[in-house]
Amino acid sequence: MKIWKYNIIISDIPWEYYLHPCPKFYGFELAKRGITLWVNPPSRNPFKIRIKKISKNLIILTPWMFTRPLKGAGFDRVEVRFQVKLAAKVFQKKISSLWSISTAYCHLLKDFPTAVSIFWSGDFFSPKKEFNSYKEFDLVLCLTPPNYLSIPESFKGKRMHFNMSCDLNIFQQKSATYSLAESFANFSSSGSKLIGYIGTLSSRRIDYTLVKRLTQIRPKMRFIFVGKGDGLESTNYEIKHLAKRENVLLLESVDYENVPFYIRKFDACLIPYQINEANWGTCPCKFVEYCAIGKPIISTSLPGLTKFSDLAKFADSAENFADLIDQALSTKREKEINLQKKFAEESSASNFLVKIENIIPKNKYV
């Protein structure tokens, strides 16, 4: 049986969550190869749509659970496991691949024992603490070199370096018709250099101290933040105060399809993340998105990104960020741009699926 003939994706990230679209690309790509069942986090809402067909081969299931669990999303609850197995029986046959995204749900290995099991580790992945949950999986996808190296030697499966991807159909198109927010058009009309950021505005992610200092020491530059908050009081506070600065514009609720058009307007792109436990395990989607457009990238020294030193520049202070922005704006970048676009193409879901096929022993699925 082909490895991608019947696929199940168990995801802590809901299908509808637009700030983290990368797993959806794998859902679409797997559906090109076989029948794919994507399972959203369970819901207690009895009126929420349970089954939704996105295409002929792609089905979204939102299981219902009786009560909210004390820990976790509830995928291991008896009623949820029953619904997943029932849906698999109705829409599929013998499951060939099983994906567990962000959390390694080891009970799935009992429910679908013959499937090739893939654990897509998340930003908070702790290889040693979580070992018992993923030790029986066939493959672990690692976003950062430190996590890759920290997987215990007793792990009998395969491990693979991994990074996010973007929708190249959107990011490589050069449409003449697109719509940008009127506030953006007005803000960017001065002729000043535009320094941009795309993604979450969470105070757990962004180093707002660095950002505020950067906007202060480069007053003639214009800084644009396109994204959405997380509802935390600390995030709302930072967004409110950052938006008061004359050389800062915040745009929320931008459709993913319009993101590339904003990035194309940027003269340089930022990833000003804090270097802390919340970000040690991340390899942000925005990095690949910036690369797909071929823009200068200045980031803090995230472990998941410093391995790409030929594609971005790294700094951990506002002053060094400012210096690197200045350098990027005055340097010819043809070679770097070519490398960035090649990287974005190689990071596609279709390419990674081929890599996974090559790393999984053939006797597991042939």
Contacts of 141 (CB under 8 A, 6+ apart): 118, 119, 120, 121, 160, 162
For the domain made up of 172-345, the CATH class stated in words is: alpha beta
Q: How far is 332 from 270, CA to CA, in rounded Å?
A: 19
pTM: 0.92
Tell which wins on pLDDT, 89 or 175.
Answer: 89
What residues does each domain of the chain span? 6-165+348-364, 172-345
Distance of alpha carbon 98 from alpha carbon 96, whole angstroms = 7
| Whether pLDDT at 121 is above 70 | yes
The C-alpha angle with vertex 26 and arms to 24 and 28, in degrees rounded to 5, equals: 70
Mean pLDDT confidence for 154-171: 93
Q: Is 233 exposed, middle or buried, given 0-12, 13-18 or 19+ CB atoms closer than 10 A?
A: exposed
- % of the chain with per-residue pLDDT over 90: 81
Q: How confident is the model at residue 364 (pLDDT cuts 50, 70, 90)?
A: low
Q: Tell me: the pLDDT tens digits for 72-96?
A: 889 999 999 999 999 999 999 889 9
Q: Indicate the range of 45-54, 242-251, 351-360 predicted with least confidence.
A: 45-54
**What pLDDT is attached to residue 132?**
97
Residue 175 confidence (pLDDT) above 80: no
The DSSP H or E segment spanning 52 is: strand 51-55
CA–CA dist 277, 113 (Å, integer): 34
Contact 340, 291 (CB under 8 A): yes
pLDDT at 1: 56
Could you tell me what percent of the chain has a pLDDT over 70? Answer: 97
pLDDT exceeds cutoff 80 at 347: yes
Question: Quick one: which of 301, 302, 283 has its CA closest to 343?
Answer: 283
pLDDT of 207-218, one tens digit each? 999 999 999 999
* Residue 144: predicted pLDDT: 95
Segment 179-195, tens digit of pLDDT: 788 899 889 888 899 99
pLDDT at 223 over 90: yes
Confidence check: pLDDT of 51 > 60: yes
Q: pLDDT class for 139, splitting at 50, 70, 90?
A: very high
Instruction: Provide mean pLDDT across the span 144-172.
Output: 93
Q: Identify the band that residue 171 occupies on the pLDDT scale cut at 50, 70 and 90.
A: confident
Whether 40 contacts 26, CB under 8 Å: no
Q: Residue 47 carries which side chain, given as an amino acid letter?
A: F
Question: Is beta strand 51-55 parallel, antiparallel or unpaired with respect to 58-61?
Answer: antiparallel
Cβ contacts of 214 within 8 Å, gap of 6 or more = 223, 272, 318, 321, 322
pLDDT per residue as tens digits for the range 295-344: 999 999 999 999 999 999 999 999 999 999 999 999 999 999 999 999 99
The whole-number average pLDDT for the span 147-153 is: 96
Q: Which amino acid is at 325?
A: I
Same fold, 6-165+348-364 and 172-345: yes
Predicted confidence (pLDDT) at residue 7 exceeds the cutoff of 60: yes
- Residue 319 CA: distances (Å) to CA of 4, 244, 248, 313: 49, 21, 18, 14
The one-letter code for the residue type at 297 is I
pLDDT averaged over every residue in the chain: 93
Fold of 6-165+348-364: Rossmann fold (3.40.50)
